[in-house]
Structure 1
Amino acid sequence: MTDVESIEPGREPLNPAELADTTSGWRVEVVAETGSTNADLLARAETSETGVVRVAELQTGGRGRLERSWISPPGAGLTFSLLVRPDTDVRGWGWLPLLTGLALAQAIGPQARLKWPNDLLLGPEGGKAAGILVQSSGSAVVIGVGLNVTTTAAELPVPTATSLALQGIDERDRAVILRAFLAEFDARYAAWLAESGDAGRSGLAAAYRQACATLGSEVSVQLPASTLRGLAVDIDPAGRLLVRPEGRPGAIALAAGDVTHLRDAAR
């Protein structure tokens, strides 16, 4: 198991007692090492109460979309999952990764932009600094977040990734970032629930559109059996991306897909 001695100097381990005292409404667990915080909470989904947050200093078996592996050095990133039980129509749960991304972007600051459906981008090149994975089990939804905080260029999994440190963002205290995220998530999630999961009435849809770098961009979307290229024009009421293919007047609604930004359109 990983311990605090394996965390490099300058990367402070998280203090579970401090987080427990300063994250009202959430029960935060900090573990030195685990395979996957999402898998941990999914295994407890039937019995765990809502509002539990599991944070790992080192995650060895994390998976993103399309089963991509993801490992961050101990203490370099903020890797956590939270369990909620939204009492809303499951057809609106497609907004949960978008809500999570928006809360994370607001916690980090105005430099952060979002790529539909689950990436946080930083810097002029739009490097990926965080990914989000949402999974459900019965009435429980587990939301996983992996954010590169002090990750160096040599530690990044791919050249197109980045971190808060590499982009010169001053706030690198992972406890501060986690508390800010949970506060932002709380507010957005409560408003969304109050409107029965309606992203329009709750203000979620408008705020997400404002923060989303995908909208107005030429995109390539890798689908299971084909690739779609076109202009990303909007997000529909179910949280799906609307893409207008080249040479066609109508838009296609996508519930999922691997999106690549090709070119920003004039706005």
Structure 2
Amino acid sequence: MTPHGEGTPGGPREPRPGRWSDLDRPPLNAAGLRRGLVRAGGLWTQLDVVQRTGSTNSDLVSRAGAGGLEEGVVLVAEEQTAARGRLDRQWTAPARSGLFFSVLLRPAEVPVARWGWLPLLTGVAVATGLSRAAGVDTALKWPNDLLVTVGGEERKAGGILAERAGADGVVIGVGVNVSLRGDELPVPTAGSLALAGAVSTDRDPLLRGVLRSLEDWYGRWRAAGGDPGASGLQETYAAGCATLGRVVRAELPGDRELVGEAVAVDGDGRLVLATGEGVQEPVGAGDIIHVRAR
């Protein structure tokens, strides 16, 4: 076989982009991932890898809404063209430069009032999995950002988005920048595992590590009936949360703003702020801006 551009009729031409066009970013091994993760009695029941889609969360929410999907479906994309974060923010990344996936959970044994812990649980699981598989210390910014340190500065390297899927399901999406280079960063405050000095950017073991960690934490939480204290989730989240101990500005719904020190994460997963007036106020939704480092 003659390589494109060498000895082909009509002279040299540019190689056509394909799944192996960037050898620094090989495709995921879907069959190998299924062998390592999908097993009888385990959480993960199905794992699919698609080359390109708008949003794995949107796709999985739609499929779950149509019925017939059991818990534990994992949908992974090599590239997303309409990925969404909280507050419908858009973000994009080069193909095969990160982990972009969504999972379907059906925590029937857990009261719905405790489902708000699922994004925080996922953050703990992702941070734990990446620490083991990539050798990178990943911190959590409440409620759903993953932070790494690049050049002595905290940078956002990933995020989590949870959405209801029908009456009994939740789809959780995860996006992590793995091999993103400095000249590819969408904003100066972004980061990646590679820029943070990861010992490995091989996405197959990284994804296996994250999903195994998520299975472990979800199992503990579910066995405890969603109790964040009994499952160890609340304590572990607080230990890895970079927001606690900081003065933060909370931009709340209704154009309201609150400034205070983040002192705790309460039993409902809310961030508790101690204001200058000596009042402790829980925040359940909104944007959190770190104002002062510890």
TM-score by length of 2: 0.86
Do residues 200 (structure 1) and 226 (structure 2) align?
Answer: no
Deviation at 1:8, TM superposition (A): 1.6
Deviations 1:189-236 (A, max 9, x none): 111011110000110001111000001111111112122111001011
Do residues 82 (structure 1) and 103 (structure 2) align?
Answer: yes
5 Å matches for 1:169-248?
A: 169-224=198-253, 225-245=255-275, 247-248=276-277
Deviation at 1:75, TM superposition (A): 0.7
Q: Residue 53 of structure 2 aligns with which residue? A: 34
Q: How many residues align?
A: 262
Deviation at 1:250, TM superposition (A): 2.1
Distance 1:3 1:250 in 2: 57
Do residues 8 (structure 1) and 36 (structure 2) align?
Answer: no
Distance 1:141 1:254 in 2: 22
Deviations 1:23-53 (A, max 9, x none): 1332210000001000011001132111011
Q: Residue 282 of structure 2 aligns with which residue? A: 253
Q: Residue 101 of structure 1 aligns with which residue? A: 123
Structure 2 SS opposite 1:104:
helix
Structure 2 SS opposite 1:43:
helix
Structure 2 SS opposite 1:214:
coil
Amino acid at match of 1:163: S
Distance 1:228 1:3 in 2: 49
Among 69, 81, 89, the residue aligned to 1:68:
89
Distance 2:78 2:85 in 1: 17
Amino acid at match of 2:169: A
Structure 1 vs Structure 2 CA RMSD: 1.3
- Contact kept, 8 Å, 1:147 with 1:163, in 2: the verdict is yes
Deviation at 1:12, TM superposition (A): 0.9
Deviation at 1:9, TM superposition (A): 1.9
Distance 1:220 1:156 in 2: 25
Distance 2:288 2:203 in 1: 28
Return 5+ residue gaps in structure 2 as ranges: 1-16
Do residues 149 (structure 1) and 163 (structure 2) align?
Answer: no
Distance 2:105 2:59 in 1: 14
Q: Which runs of 4+ in 1 moved over 6 A?
A: none
Distance 1:196 1:146 in 2: 27
Distance 2:63 2:26 in 1: 29
Q: Residue 147 of structure 2 aligns with which residue? A: 121
- Contact kept, 8 Å, 1:92 with 1:197, in 2: the verdict is yes
Amino acid at match of 2:37: T
- Contact kept, 8 Å, 1:3 with 1:32, in 2: the verdict is no
Q: Radius of gyration: which is bigger?
A: 2
Do residues 56 (structure 1) and 103 (structure 2) align?
Answer: no
Amino acid at match of 1:111: D
Distance 2:201 2:130 in 1: 10
Identity %: 48
Distance 1:49 1:126 in 2: 38
Amino acid at match of 1:249: G
Structure 2 SS opposite 1:86:
coil
Distance 1:221 1:244 in 2: 12
Deviations 1:227-257 (A, max 9, x none): 2111001011111111112x22221111111
